Amino acid sequence: MSIINAPRGVRDILPDESWKWEYLFKVTRDTARDFGYREIHLPVFEHTELFSRGVGETTDVVEKEMYTFEDRAGRSLTLRPELSASMVRSYLENRMDKWHQPAKLWSAGPMFRYERPQKGRYRQFWQIDFEAIGSQDPYVDVESIALSLEIFRRLGLSKLEVVVNSVGCPVCRPVHREALQDFLRPRLGDLCETCQGRFDRNPLRILDCKNPACRDITDEAPDTISCLCADCSEHFSSVRLGLDRIGAVVSIDKRLVRGLDYYTKTAYEVLSGDLGAQNAVCGGGRYDNLAESIGGPHTPGVGFAAGVERIVLTMEDQGCNFGEPPVLDVYVVSAEPSSRDESVALLYEIRKAGIAADIDYTGRSFKAQFKTAGGSGASFACVMGPDEIASGSVTVKNLGTGEQQQIARAELPRLLAELRSAKAGNQEGDLL
Report, in Å, the least distance between residue 153 CB and RNA.
Answer: 17
Report, in Å, the least distance between residue 279 CB and RNA.
Answer: 5
Q: Dihedral angle at the C-alpha atoms of 267, 271, 277, 278, nearest 10 degrees?
A: -70
Could you say which residues in the range 379-418 bind RNA, by CB under 7 A? 381, 383, 385-388, 395, 397-402, 404
For RNA, the closer of residues 88 and 306 by Cβ is 306
CA distance linking residue 153 with residue 149, whole number of Å:
6
Among 18, 76, 94, 194, binds RNA (CB under 7 A): 194
Among 208, 231, 317, 418, binds RNA (CB under 7 A): 208
Among 134, 222, 242, 283, binds RNA (CB under 7 A): 283
Binding mask 25-64 for RNA (x = CB under 7 A): ----------------------------------xxx---
Q: Binding of RNA at residue 364 (CB under 7 A)? A: yes
Sign of CA dihedral 47, 50, 55, 59: positive
For RNA, the closer of residues 271 and 353 by Cβ is 271
Q: Binding of RNA at residue 17 (CB under 7 A)? A: no
CB distance 290 to 260 below 8 Å: no
For RNA, the closer of residues 101 and 279 by Cβ is 279
Counting residues that bind RNA (by CB under 7 A) gives 69
Which positions ≥6 away from 11 have C-beta within 8 Å? 122
Report, in Å, the least distance between residue 95 CB and RNA.
Answer: 27
- Binding segment toward RNA, per CB under 7 A, in 155-163, 207-215, 291-299, 418-426: 207-215
SS3 per-residue string spanning the chain: CCCCCCCCCCCCCCHHHHHHHHHHHHHHHHHHHHCCCEECCCCCEEEHHHHHHHCCCCCHHHHHCCEEEECCCCCEEEECCCCHHHHHHHHHHCCHHHCCCCEEEEEEEEEECCCCCECCECCEEEEEEEEEECCCCHHHHHHHHHHHHHHHHHCCCCCEEEEEEECCCCCCHHHHHHHHHHHHHHHHHHCCHHHHHHHHHCHHHHHHCCCHHHHHHHCCCCCCHHHCCHHHHHHHHHHHHHHHHCCCCCEECCCCCCCCCCCEEEEEEEEECCCCCCCEEEEEEECCCHHHHCCCCCCCEEEEEEEHHHHHHHHHHCCCCCCCCCCCCEEEEECCHHHHHHHHHHHHHHHHCCCCEEECCCCCCHHHHHHHHHHHCCCEEEEECHHHHHHCEEEEEECCCCCEEEEEHHHHHHHHHHHHHHHHHCCCCCCC
Q: Binding of RNA at residue 371 (CB under 7 A)? A: yes
Q: Binding of RNA at residue 159 (CB under 7 A)? A: no
Among 109, 110, 259, 296, binds RNA (CB under 7 A): 259
Q: Binding of RNA at residue 109 (CB under 7 A)? A: no
Among 42, 175, 179, 280, binds RNA (CB under 7 A): 280
- Binding segment toward RNA, per CB under 7 A, in 122-130, 155-163, 164-172, 409-417: 122-130
Among 139, 278, 344, 407, binds RNA (CB under 7 A): 278
For RNA, the closer of residues 128 and 140 by Cβ is 128
CA distance linking residue 282 with residue 287, whole number of Å:
16
Report, in Å, the least distance between residue 420 CB and RNA.
Answer: 21
For RNA, the closer of residues 234 and 316 by Cβ is 316
Report, in Å, the least distance between residue 99 CB and RNA.
Answer: 26
Among 46, 82, 131, 223, binds RNA (CB under 7 A): 82
For RNA, the closer of residues 326 and 363 by Cβ is 363
Q: Binding of RNA at residue 238 (CB under 7 A)? A: no
Q: Binding of RNA at residue 303 (CB under 7 A)? A: no
**9: closest CA among 156, 138, 110?**
110
Report, in Å, the least distance between residue 234 CB and RNA.
Answer: 26
Under the rule (CB under 7 A), what is the footprint of RNA? 5, 8-9, 11, 59-61, 82, 113, 115-122, 125, 127, 194, 205, 208-211, 258-260, 269, 276-283, 305-307, 309-310, 335-336, 364-368, 370-375, 381, 383, 385-388, 395, 397-402, 404
